[in-house]
Amino acid sequence: MSRTTFFTAAGRTAVPLVVLLLAWLVSGFYIVRGNEQAVIRRFGQLDRNPGGGVAVRSSGLRWDLPWPLTRVDRINTHEVRTMSIGQPEFDATLEEGNPDEFLVPVDPALQSQFLTGDRNILNLQVTIHYHVDDIAQFLFGIATPETRLRLLAESLVADTVTRCGVDFVHVLGRNRLKSLLVERLAQEPVQQLGLVIDDVTVGAVYPPIQVKSEFLEVMNARAERQTHINNATAYAGKRTFQREAEAQRIQFEAAAYKSRLISSARGEASRFNQLVSQIHREADSGPQDYLATRHLAMRRMYLDTMQTVFSRVAAKVLLDSGRAVDLTILKDPQQ
């Protein structure tokens, strides 16, 4: 084989190899999206920054040694993940031909029964909402972090429910139970898992099938009691309003009556004072003395009063014609 033939054959072989090498190097480009973070494992070792911490790549177009020399792990750190503990309420049906079996078989892993503080059993479904905060800790800190989170959440739910009564969990305190779970999960070392708890939702809370009817009776009784309480409160409020309105009306009427009496008394006193002054003036200026003038004034007042009174009398008075009747009330002081 000549030298020219050798180089020609070598060139034909090298061109595909160079193309393959270039294609392999181009495969080292990767994209980290805006809602993602990435870490690099080069030759099986985590790529670290000069400070010794894990180097986290933010969004953008990047390049590193292609696979299998380098592996890129990308995690969506903005995604809200959910984890359910327990299961929604299900309907238990009897199997045909086997009346002794009361419940449909359920996977033990899906059991959601919790013991309350007053030794009652309740089924709960709790949903944990969380997101990845530290990608390096999440991927390489602790093995199976989401499984650890599930175990931690289950233990906290069981412990919290154990501290509460069945009425609190089942009916009255669902929002308070949610607050307690959020507070207690915030106190746990969840960040060591690279996770952050966003929210906790308490979904279904229901009794076991065997005692469901009794729980419904208790709930109906509680609702009926609350209805009676609301009706009594409304009636008491209505009566209180009526009583206050009646008391205010009586106060207004009493104040008006008092004002009328005071005005009438002042008018009568003013007229009497005017009459006394008139009697004194007539006694001083007239031919009669004070007693005679006073007698005439009193007679005039008497006649005016009798005229007013008799004008209001509708009945008739029959007198014996054989006897004399003296109707004089104010006699002449000279007699």
Q: Could you report the per-residue pLDDT of 204-247, keeping only the tens digit for each?
A: 777 766 666 666 676 677 788 888 999 999 999 999 999 999 99
Position of tokens 């595909």?
A: 16
Taking a C-beta distance cutoff of 8 angstroms, is the pair 125, 189 a contact? no
CB 228 within 8 A of CB 161: no
Distance CA 49, CA 45 (A): 13
Would you call 265 exposed, middle or buried from its count of C-beta atoms within 10 A (0-12, 13-18, 19+)?
exposed
Mean per-residue pLDDT of the chain? 75
pLDDT tens, position by position, 285-307: 766 677 777 777 777 778 778 78
CB distance 332 to 292 below 8 Å: no
Predicted confidence band at 96 (pLDDT cuts at 50, 70, 90)?
A: very low
76 bridge partner residues: 36
| Strongest mean pLDDT among 49-53, 166-170, 179-183 | 179-183
Q: Please, what is the end-to-end C-alpha distance for the chain in angstroms?
A: 186
**In the 8-state DSSP scheme, what is residue 54?**
B
Q: Is the dihedral of CA 294, 295, 300, 303 positive or negative?
A: positive
State the average pLDDT over residues 175-198.
Answer: 80
Domains and CATH numbers, the chain: 3-76 (no CATH), 81-90+108-207 (3.30.479.30)
SS3 83: strand
- Please classify residue 169 by burial: count the beta carbons closer than 10 Å to its beta carbon, then call 0-12 exposed, 13-18 middle and 19+ buried: buried
Q: Please, which pLDDT band fits residue 315 given cuts at 50, 70 and 90?
A: low
Q: How far apart are CA 330 and CA 297, in angstroms?
A: 11
Range name among 3-12, 34-43, 89-98 with the lowest pLDDT average: 89-98
> What was the pLDDT predicted at 172?
61
0.75 exceeded by pTM: no
Q: Which residue has the higher pLDDT, 10 or 12?
A: 12
pLDDT at 256: 93
| Residue 130 backbone dihedrals phi, psi, to 5 degrees | -150, 170
Higher pLDDT, 192 or 150: 150
**Contact call for residues 136 and 113 (beta carbons, < 8 A):** no
Question: What band does 88 get if pLDDT is binned at 50, 70 and 90?
Answer: low
**pLDDT attached to residue 240:** 92
Q: At a CB cut-off of 8 Å and minimum separation 6, what does 208 contact?
A: 113, 121, 123
Residue 102 or residue 81, greater confidence: 81
pLDDT-derived band of residue 110, with 50, 70 and 90 as boundaries? very low
Tell me the average pLDDT across 275-294: 73
| Secondary element (H or E) of residue 205 | strand 195-206
Is pLDDT of 12 > 90?
A: no
Residue 37 binned pLDDT confidence (cut-offs 50, 70, 90)? confident
pLDDT digits (tens, 9 = 90+) for 112-159: 677 677 677 777 778 888 888 888 888 887 778 888 888 888 888 888
pLDDT at 255 over 80: yes
Q: Is the pLDDT of residue 329 over 70?
A: no
What pLDDT, on the 0 to 100 scale, is given for residue 94?
38
pLDDT of amino acid 48: 74
